[in-house]
């Protein structure tokens, strides 16, 4: 069972390409999971994978986001929920 993490990113993270770039980064790193916008303006998701360094790279990406984003906070916590194959942008 691979480690999985739930995350919530707050700040200016909607309407700036954040989800698409997160998806691309996760797929490039071979990670699994999903990402979506929340009604409160945050972006949330689930990420999992077998390589701790790749998960850390994704975590570090979330701290910066897309070039137009302004990340104010990243909440990151381990979860027993398992990420399915692929990395989806949910609506």
The residues annotated with a catalytic role in the active site are: 19, 37
Whether 79 contacts 72, CB under 8 Å? no
Whether 82 contacts 1, CB under 8 Å? yes
Host H or E run for residue 55: helix 52-64
In a 13 Å sphere around the CA of 44, the CA atoms on its Cβ side amount to 7
Q: Which residue has the tokens 């993490």?
A: 5
């Amino acid at each position: 069972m691979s480690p999985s993490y739930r995350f919530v990113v707050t700040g200016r993270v909607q309407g700036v390409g954040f989800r698409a770039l997160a998806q691309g980064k996760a797929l490039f790193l071979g990670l699994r999971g999903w990402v979506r916008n929340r009604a409160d303006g945050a972006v949330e998701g689930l990420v999992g994978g077998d390589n701790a360094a790749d998960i850390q790279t994704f975590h570090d990406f979330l701290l910066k986001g897309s070039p137009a984003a302004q990340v104010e906070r990243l909440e990151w916590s381990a979860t027993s929920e398992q990420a399915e194959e692929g990395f989806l942008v949910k609506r």
